[in-house]
Protein backbone atom coordinates (compact mmCIF):
# COMPACT_ATOMS: atom_id res chain seq x y z
CA UNK A 1 0.00 0.00 0.00
CA UNK A 2 1.22 3.52 -0.84
CA UNK A 3 0.00 6.92 0.28
CA UNK A 4 -0.11 10.04 -1.89
CA UNK A 5 -0.82 13.70 -1.16
CA UNK A 6 -1.64 15.74 -4.26
CA UNK A 7 -2.02 19.52 -4.26
CA UNK A 8 -4.29 21.26 -6.75
CA UNK A 9 -6.36 18.09 -7.02
CA UNK A 10 -9.76 19.49 -7.94
CA UNK A 11 -9.32 19.44 -11.70
CA UNK A 12 -7.00 18.82 -14.62
CA UNK A 13 -3.78 16.95 -14.00
CA UNK A 14 -4.27 16.94 -10.21
CA UNK A 15 -7.69 15.35 -10.48
CA UNK A 16 -6.41 12.76 -12.92
CA UNK A 17 -3.63 11.81 -10.48
CA UNK A 18 -6.30 11.18 -7.85
CA UNK A 19 -8.42 9.23 -10.31
CA UNK A 20 -5.67 6.91 -11.50
CA UNK A 21 -3.97 6.37 -8.14
CA UNK A 22 -7.20 5.72 -6.24
CA UNK A 23 -8.28 3.15 -8.84
CA UNK A 24 -5.99 0.83 -6.88
CA UNK A 25 -7.86 0.28 -3.62
CA UNK A 26 -4.56 -0.47 -1.87
CA UNK A 27 -3.52 3.16 -2.26
CA UNK A 28 -4.55 5.94 0.09
CA UNK A 29 -4.93 9.24 -1.75
CA UNK A 30 -5.20 12.67 -0.16
CA UNK A 31 -6.62 15.26 -2.56
CA UNK A 32 -5.75 18.79 -1.43
CA UNK A 33 -8.05 21.47 -2.85
CA UNK A 34 -8.60 25.15 -2.19
CA UNK A 35 -12.36 24.74 -1.83
CA UNK A 36 -14.00 21.44 -0.92
CA UNK A 37 -17.42 22.80 -1.80
CA UNK A 38 -16.51 23.04 -5.49
CA UNK A 39 -14.50 19.81 -5.69
CA UNK A 40 -17.53 17.91 -6.93
CA UNK A 41 -15.66 15.68 -9.37
CA UNK A 42 -13.64 14.20 -6.51
CA UNK A 43 -16.79 13.48 -4.53
CA UNK A 44 -18.35 11.85 -7.57
CA UNK A 45 -15.51 9.33 -7.69
CA UNK A 46 -17.12 7.78 -4.64
CA UNK A 47 -13.97 6.01 -3.50
CA UNK A 48 -13.38 5.32 0.19
CA UNK A 49 -9.59 5.55 -0.25
CA UNK A 50 -9.82 9.20 -1.35
CA UNK A 51 -9.70 11.89 1.32
CA UNK A 52 -10.56 15.40 0.13
CA UNK A 53 -8.84 18.02 2.27
CA UNK A 54 -9.18 21.77 1.98
CA UNK A 55 -5.78 23.46 1.85
CA UNK A 56 -4.26 26.38 -0.03
CA UNK A 57 -0.52 26.07 -0.72
CA UNK A 58 -0.09 29.80 -0.06
CA UNK A 59 -1.59 29.41 3.41
CA UNK A 60 0.73 27.54 5.76
CA UNK A 61 -1.95 27.25 8.44
CA UNK A 62 -4.17 25.18 6.13
CA UNK A 63 -1.19 23.10 4.98
CA UNK A 64 -0.27 22.26 8.56
CA UNK A 65 -3.87 21.30 9.28
CA UNK A 66 -3.85 19.08 6.18
CA UNK A 67 -0.63 17.40 7.29
CA UNK A 68 -2.16 16.75 10.71
CA UNK A 69 -5.27 15.23 9.13
CA UNK A 70 -3.16 12.98 6.91
CA UNK A 71 -1.07 11.93 9.89
CA UNK A 72 -4.19 10.74 11.72
CA UNK A 73 -5.12 8.48 8.80
CA UNK A 74 -1.67 7.07 8.08
CA UNK A 75 -0.23 6.93 11.58
CA UNK A 76 2.27 9.69 10.90
CA UNK A 77 3.66 8.84 7.47
CA UNK A 78 3.38 9.75 3.79
CA UNK A 79 5.01 7.99 0.85
CA UNK A 80 4.55 10.51 -1.97
CA UNK A 81 3.98 14.26 -2.18
CA UNK A 82 2.95 15.56 -5.60
CA UNK A 83 3.24 19.35 -5.85
CA UNK A 84 0.80 19.97 -8.66
CA UNK A 85 -0.92 23.22 -7.63
CA UNK A 86 0.38 26.19 -9.60
CA UNK A 87 -0.42 29.58 -11.06
CA UNK A 88 -0.23 29.50 -14.85
CA UNK A 89 -1.17 33.14 -15.39
CA UNK A 90 -3.08 32.54 -18.59
CA UNK A 91 -4.56 36.01 -18.45
CA UNK A 92 -1.14 37.57 -18.01
CA UNK A 93 0.92 36.18 -20.86
CA UNK A 94 3.88 38.13 -22.13
CA UNK A 95 3.98 40.68 -19.31
CA UNK A 96 7.59 41.32 -20.27
CA UNK A 97 7.40 43.84 -23.10
CA UNK A 98 10.47 43.83 -25.27
CA UNK A 99 9.97 47.09 -27.16
CA UNK A 100 10.72 49.78 -24.60
CA UNK A 101 9.29 52.50 -26.84
CA UNK A 102 5.87 50.86 -26.41
CA UNK A 103 6.12 50.07 -22.70
CA UNK A 104 3.22 51.86 -20.93
CA UNK A 105 3.92 53.07 -17.41
CA UNK A 106 1.21 50.85 -15.89
CA UNK A 107 2.90 47.76 -17.34
CA UNK A 108 5.75 48.11 -14.85
CA UNK A 109 3.30 47.52 -12.00
CA UNK A 110 1.57 44.71 -13.88
CA UNK A 111 4.87 42.96 -14.54
CA UNK A 112 6.02 43.26 -10.93
CA UNK A 113 2.68 41.99 -9.62
CA UNK A 114 2.62 39.08 -12.06
CA UNK A 115 6.19 37.96 -11.44
CA UNK A 116 5.71 38.25 -7.69
CA UNK A 117 2.50 36.24 -7.67
CA UNK A 118 3.91 33.56 -9.98
CA UNK A 119 7.05 33.25 -7.87
CA UNK A 120 5.06 33.14 -4.63
CA UNK A 121 2.75 30.34 -5.78
CA UNK A 122 5.06 28.33 -8.01
CA UNK A 123 8.25 28.47 -5.98
CA UNK A 124 7.91 29.86 -2.44
CA UNK A 125 4.67 27.98 -1.68
CA UNK A 126 6.27 24.74 -2.87
CA UNK A 127 9.13 25.25 -0.40
CA UNK A 128 6.64 25.67 2.45
CA UNK A 129 4.61 22.66 1.30
CA UNK A 130 7.66 20.42 1.22
CA UNK A 131 8.84 21.60 4.62
CA UNK A 132 5.46 21.03 6.23
CA UNK A 133 5.16 17.48 4.86
CA UNK A 134 8.80 16.45 5.42
CA UNK A 135 8.16 14.91 8.86
CA UNK A 136 5.52 12.61 7.36
CA UNK A 137 7.67 11.80 4.34
CA UNK A 138 10.57 10.82 6.60
CA UNK A 139 8.37 8.07 8.00
CA UNK A 140 7.19 6.95 4.56
CA UNK A 141 8.54 4.10 2.49
CA UNK A 142 8.99 5.82 -0.87
CA UNK A 143 10.10 9.28 0.32
CA UNK A 144 9.30 10.72 -3.12
CA UNK A 145 8.53 14.39 -3.73
CA UNK A 146 7.36 15.20 -7.25
CA UNK A 147 7.01 18.80 -8.35
CA UNK A 148 5.16 19.43 -11.59
CA UNK A 149 7.26 21.70 -13.77
CA UNK A 150 7.25 22.46 -17.49
CA UNK A 151 9.46 22.18 -20.54
CA UNK A 152 8.95 25.93 -20.81
CA UNK A 153 11.41 26.23 -17.92
CA UNK A 154 14.18 24.72 -20.06
CA UNK A 155 16.30 27.60 -21.38
CA UNK A 156 17.51 25.63 -24.40
CA UNK A 157 13.94 24.85 -25.41
CA UNK A 158 12.87 28.48 -25.01
CA UNK A 159 15.70 29.79 -27.19
CA UNK A 160 15.50 27.12 -29.87
CA UNK A 161 11.71 27.27 -30.20
CA UNK A 162 11.67 31.08 -29.92
CA UNK A 163 8.90 30.89 -27.33
CA UNK A 164 8.61 34.01 -25.18
CA UNK A 165 4.92 34.49 -24.33
CA UNK A 166 4.92 32.64 -21.00
CA UNK A 167 7.46 34.78 -19.18
CA UNK A 168 6.19 34.87 -15.58
CA UNK A 169 5.19 31.20 -15.59
CA UNK A 170 8.46 30.02 -17.12
CA UNK A 171 10.60 32.12 -14.81
CA UNK A 172 8.84 30.85 -11.69
CA UNK A 173 9.00 27.23 -12.86
CA UNK A 174 12.72 27.57 -13.58
CA UNK A 175 13.04 28.77 -9.98
CA UNK A 176 11.18 25.75 -8.60
CA UNK A 177 13.48 23.45 -10.59
CA UNK A 178 16.32 24.90 -8.55
CA UNK A 179 14.28 24.35 -5.38
CA UNK A 180 14.05 20.67 -6.34
CA UNK A 181 17.80 20.52 -6.92
CA UNK A 182 18.60 22.02 -3.51
CA UNK A 183 16.30 19.61 -1.67
CA UNK A 184 17.79 16.71 -3.62
CA UNK A 185 21.29 17.73 -2.59
CA UNK A 186 20.27 18.14 1.05
CA UNK A 187 18.26 14.94 1.48
CA UNK A 188 19.83 12.40 -0.88
CA UNK A 189 21.74 10.79 1.97
CA UNK A 190 18.43 10.21 3.77
CA UNK A 191 16.98 8.27 0.85
CA UNK A 192 14.67 10.99 -0.47
CA UNK A 193 13.86 11.33 -4.16
CA UNK A 194 13.05 14.81 -5.46
CA UNK A 195 11.98 15.23 -9.07
CA UNK A 196 10.87 18.12 -11.28
CA UNK A 197 8.51 16.56 -13.79
CA UNK A 198 7.03 18.12 -16.92
CA UNK A 199 3.62 16.70 -17.88
CA UNK A 200 4.00 17.60 -21.56
CA UNK A 201 1.59 19.88 -23.35
CA UNK A 202 -1.74 18.86 -21.81
CA UNK A 203 -5.25 19.97 -22.73
CA UNK A 204 -6.82 20.98 -19.41
CA UNK A 205 -9.18 23.61 -20.82
CA UNK A 206 -12.56 23.87 -19.12
CA UNK A 207 -14.20 25.85 -21.94
CA UNK A 208 -13.83 26.23 -25.71
CA UNK A 209 -10.99 28.56 -26.75
CA UNK A 210 -11.61 32.02 -28.15
CA UNK A 211 -10.51 32.93 -31.68
CA UNK A 212 -7.62 34.90 -30.23
CA UNK A 213 -6.52 31.92 -28.15
CA UNK A 214 -6.74 29.65 -31.18
CA UNK A 215 -4.52 32.05 -33.16
CA UNK A 216 -1.96 32.24 -30.34
CA UNK A 217 -1.95 28.48 -29.91
CA UNK A 218 -1.50 27.90 -33.64
CA UNK A 219 1.54 30.16 -33.62
CA UNK A 220 2.97 28.33 -30.62
CA UNK A 221 2.45 24.95 -32.30
CA UNK A 222 4.26 26.20 -35.38
CA UNK A 223 7.24 27.13 -33.23
CA UNK A 224 7.18 23.83 -31.35
CA UNK A 225 7.18 21.88 -34.60
CA UNK A 226 10.47 23.47 -35.61
CA UNK A 227 11.98 21.24 -32.90
CA UNK A 228 9.46 18.40 -32.94
CA UNK A 229 8.22 18.03 -36.54
CA UNK A 230 6.02 15.04 -35.66
CA UNK A 231 4.31 16.74 -32.72
CA UNK A 232 0.56 16.22 -33.11
CA UNK A 233 -0.70 18.57 -30.41
CA UNK A 234 -1.76 18.43 -26.75
CA UNK A 235 -2.33 15.15 -24.97
CA UNK A 236 -5.11 14.39 -22.52
CA UNK A 237 -4.68 14.51 -18.74
CA UNK A 238 -5.30 10.74 -18.72
CA UNK A 239 -2.38 10.06 -21.07
CA UNK A 240 -0.08 12.55 -19.36
CA UNK A 241 -0.64 11.20 -15.85
CA UNK A 242 -0.29 7.60 -16.98
CA UNK A 243 3.09 8.45 -18.50
CA UNK A 244 4.14 10.54 -15.49
CA UNK A 245 3.34 7.68 -13.11
CA UNK A 246 5.55 5.38 -15.15
CA UNK A 247 8.42 7.83 -14.62
CA UNK A 248 7.64 8.27 -10.91
CA UNK A 249 7.52 4.53 -10.30
CA UNK A 250 10.89 3.99 -11.99
CA UNK A 251 12.96 6.74 -10.41
CA UNK A 252 15.27 5.96 -7.51
CA UNK A 253 17.46 8.00 -5.21
CA UNK A 254 20.13 7.85 -7.94
CA UNK A 255 17.83 10.10 -10.02
CA UNK A 256 17.10 12.64 -7.31
CA UNK A 257 17.18 16.26 -8.43
CA UNK A 258 16.43 15.45 -12.06
CA UNK A 259 14.27 17.58 -14.36
CA UNK A 260 12.49 15.18 -16.71
CA UNK A 261 9.53 15.04 -19.06
CA UNK A 262 6.56 12.68 -18.97
CA UNK A 263 8.66 10.53 -21.28
CA UNK A 264 11.42 10.19 -18.70
CA UNK A 265 13.81 12.26 -20.79
CA UNK A 266 14.41 15.85 -21.93
CA UNK A 267 11.91 15.42 -24.75
CA UNK A 268 9.30 17.91 -23.62
CA UNK A 269 6.62 17.28 -26.24
Q: Which residues are catalytic?
A: 169, 173
* Three-state secondary structure readout of 65-109: HHHHHHHHHHCCCCCEEEECCCCCCHHHCCCCCCCHHHCCHHHHH
Burial 82-113 (b: 16+ CB within 10 A, else e): bbbbbbbbeebbebeeeeeeeeeeeeeeebee
Instruction: Fill in the DSSP letter of residue 141.
Output: S
Half-sphere exposure of 182 (CA within 13 A, CB side): 11
Q: What is d(CA 87, CA 142) in angstroms, rounded to the nearest whole number?
A: 28
How many C-beta neighbours within 10 Å does residue 241 have? 27
Residue 12 to residue 9: CA distance in whole angstroms: 8
Distance CA 214, CA 203 (A): 13
Amino acid sequence: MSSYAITGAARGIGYEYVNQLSANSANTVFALVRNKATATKLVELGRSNVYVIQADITDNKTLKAAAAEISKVTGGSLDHLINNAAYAGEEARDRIKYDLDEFPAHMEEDLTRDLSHSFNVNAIAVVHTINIFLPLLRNGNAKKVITISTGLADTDFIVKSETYATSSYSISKAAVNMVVAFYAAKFKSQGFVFLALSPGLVNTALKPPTQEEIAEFSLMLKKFRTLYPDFEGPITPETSVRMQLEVINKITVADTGAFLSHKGSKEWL
